[in-house]
Structure 1
Amino acid sequence: PPQPPVVLPVKLLWLIWVFWLYGAIALGLLAISWGWLWWEVLLVVAAYSCLMAAAYRYVFGCRQKLLSRYKQQVLEYHQQNILYHQDLSSNKQQEFSSFKVEKEGLETRLKSAKVELDSRNRLLKDLMSLRVSPNGTSQAPQGVSEQRFLQYLQQYFEEVVQAAEFKIPSSQRSYSADFTVIHSPSGLGIDVEIDEPYAGKSKKPTHCCDADRDMRRNQLFLEWNWIVVRFTEKQVVQAPLSCCKFLAQAIAFVTGDRSYLKQLETEPNLLSVKPWTTREARAMAKSNYRLTYLPGFGVSSACNRVSKF
């Protein structure tokens, strides 16, 4: 706020007239003592009175101007203060309205996303009703690496089954899935396989990219409405959380459900691995390649695992 000006109080202004009165009397007496005529004394007193009146008017006028300017400044200050508070109130109201609109927009988008996700899951549920279910449990021995990986899968996914068995049409044989992961809201099923480059005892090459055995198996699972995900044994042993993240990414991509992925977002993405040929698998068996990453995982039992059909 503006500071009030320094002016003479009204009481002090009356001193001017006191000085005038004493001055007029003193000049009159002085002029008489000097032998002036009466009209000369009157002229001197009149001139003195005019001078004092001019002085009083000047001082009073300056005082009024300062007070008037101060009142104007105070008035302008109050007007600006009122406008400031009005603008502040308006801005707060606009911010609140903007926040309310954004909140309503976010709620609308969330509701829309939920409706879309529910609709997507219903469509997938209808499609997955045609998915072929396993008809039993395989009795094939499981490696230690699979037992360890099962613990990770059960930690992040709800429906996990190990060694589910599927009957091959027009055959006496069955396929054994290392793991099956089911997304309950949509019914989406994932066949999770762990591939070793060679069998533990016989050293026979397995899961080679230049052999069509796995390709026929994959095609059949796809026809049964399953997703097939193959990890190498080394990936499961050295990066189990990244493998789980890959499965969560697959579920999010197909169903739109990111709830599993949120638990694993901070984990590194799984690095891709080049498939091996039969020749490369034989070379790995000759050098005991699996022993480079299996120590501590029960090497003997893991390497002696009987390959699933």
Structure 2
Amino acid sequence: MNYPMAFYPETVTNFCRKYPLNLSRDDQVTVVCNNSSSVIKPQLPNLPIVPSVQWFGLIWLLWLGGAIALPLIAISWGWSWIELLLLVSAYSCLIAAAYAYVLSYRTKLLSQHRQQISEYQMKLAMYQKQQINSEHPPEIKAQESLINLKLRCQLLSDLMSNRVNPIGHSQARQGVSEKEFLRYLQCYFPTTVQGVQFKVPMSKKSYSADFTIVHHISGIGIDVEVDEPYAGLSLKPTHCLDEDSDRRRNQLFNEWGWIVVRFTERQVVQAPLSCCKFIAMVIAQVTGDRSYLELLELQPDLLPVKPWTTKEARRMAKERYRQTYLKQK
């Protein structure tokens, strides 16, 4: 894969397969459901059987009863205070685990039901569209497409509600080309934020995103990265094709629900508007929102750039390759 690169979460890919977008020549967006050929009216999903709130009260009553009964039993058996403390602690951990499991199970069922309701609304809209005579005036057809697009974005927004959010701003050093590129990004994508930090679960490690862009209507998030072939001070090779660090990072961000877009530093410096156009194309392809792309459609497409290996990055560093385009700034 050449630069520019785009890596999509599996959830987004599956969603786009299930609800593909057809972009006609006049740029009118229509939504097609994979099951649109069916004329069967969708059925409203049944409310799932979820643990009631009384379950949580019962769990805490069990804990309170055990916390009272166990010490009495332990004292009657002549246990020491240390043994009594360990017994009560183990029992409390068991009750806490049961509470967390029931809460997680209930939340999961309700979340699945909300997703089913959103899908039902989408399928119902498609069903109602099938029932309408196809010989409608163009104005009515355009209005129907906008309604379907709105429902699709709502469904995508529900799917993106589980996207992992950053924990704050990063202290990582910013690249020399990023400050100028930020100005272009914020001009076309007002939600752009630079240098935010993501915590890796079960680890002291964290990742810093060069830029993040959130499409508020659909909820999709885009992590925009600017890749240099080597570090400016140490001249150490970076973002090399034959290393796994970027691949693992991309995979983790995809699992967190983020689309990852990567440009080379030279692309960002020499063709920032074309980079913005590529981001706008990603948004349009996933959400159907072409408002960003319409502002940039006259810009040329980015020329593909081949990724570099560690050996090639060392040669670039030796030749001071980055200075050939950074000095033009």
Q: Which of the five TM-score ranges fits, normalised by the shorter chain?
A: 0.5 to 0.7
Amino acid at match of 1:188: I
- Report the identity percentage: 64
Aligned partner of 2:233 in structure 1 is 201
Matched, 1:127 2:159: yes
Aligned partner of 1:250 in structure 2 is 282
Matched, 1:226 2:248: no
Asked if 2 retains the 8 angstrom alpha-carbon contact of 1:167 and 1:173, the reply is: yes
* Structure ranking higher on relative contact order (CA contacts 8 Å, 6+ apart): 2
* 1:47-58 matches, cutoff 5 A: none
Of the candidates 211, 220, 225, which is equivalent to residue 188 of structure 1? 220
Aligned partner of 1:88 in structure 2 is none
Aligned partner of 2:179 in structure 1 is 147
Provide TM-score, normalisation by structure 1: 0.62
Deviation at 1:106, TM superposition (A): 2.2
Deviation at 1:135, TM superposition (A): 0.4
Where structure 1 has 5 or more consecutive residues not aligned to the other structure, the ranges are: 1-103, 298-309
Amino acid at match of 1:107: E
Report how many aligned residue pairs link the two structures. 195
Amino acid at match of 2:181: F
Provide TM-score, normalisation by structure 2: 0.58
Of the candidates 157, 163, 179, which is equivalent to residue 195 of structure 2? 163
Matched, 1:216 2:244: no
Query: Within 1, Cα distance between the matches of 2:221 and 2:143?
Result: 27
Aligned partner of 2:15 in structure 1 is none
Aligned partner of 1:303 in structure 2 is none
Asked if 2 retains the 8 angstrom alpha-carbon contact of 1:158 and 1:182, the reply is: no
Query: Within 1, Cα distance between the matches of 2:199 and 2:255?
Result: 13
* Alpha-carbon RMSD: 1.3
Aligned partner of 1:271 in structure 2 is 303
Q: Which sits farther off after the overlay, 160-169 or 134-143?
A: 134-143
Deviation at 1:112, TM superposition (A): 1.5
Q: Which sits farther off after the overlay, 245-254 or 105-114?
A: 105-114
Aligned partner of 1:138 in structure 2 is 170
* 1:1-309 matches, cutoff 5 A: 105-297=137-329
SS of equivalent to 1:175: strand
Aligned partner of 1:23 in structure 2 is none
Deviation at 1:296, TM superposition (A): 4.1
Deviation at 1:109, TM superposition (A): 2.3
Amino acid at match of 2:171: Q
Asked if 2 retains the 8 angstrom alpha-carbon contact of 1:195 and 1:233, the reply is: yes
Query: Within 1, Cα distance between the matches of 2:137 and 2:174?
Result: 52
Larger radius of gyration: 1
Q: Deviations over 1:189-218 (max 9, x none)?
A: 000000000001111100001100000000
Q: Deviations over 1:118-161 (max 9, x none)?
A: 01111110111010000010012223310100000010012111
Structure that is richer in helix per residue: 1
Query: Within 1, Cα distance between the matches of 2:273 and 2:326?
Result: 17
Amino acid at match of 1:221: F
SS of equivalent to 1:271: coil
Deviation at 1:226, TM superposition (A): 0.4
Amino acid at match of 1:294: L
Query: Within 1, Cα distance between the matches of 2:317 and 2:260?
Result: 26
Query: Within 1, Cα distance between the matches of 2:137 and 2:222?
Result: 36
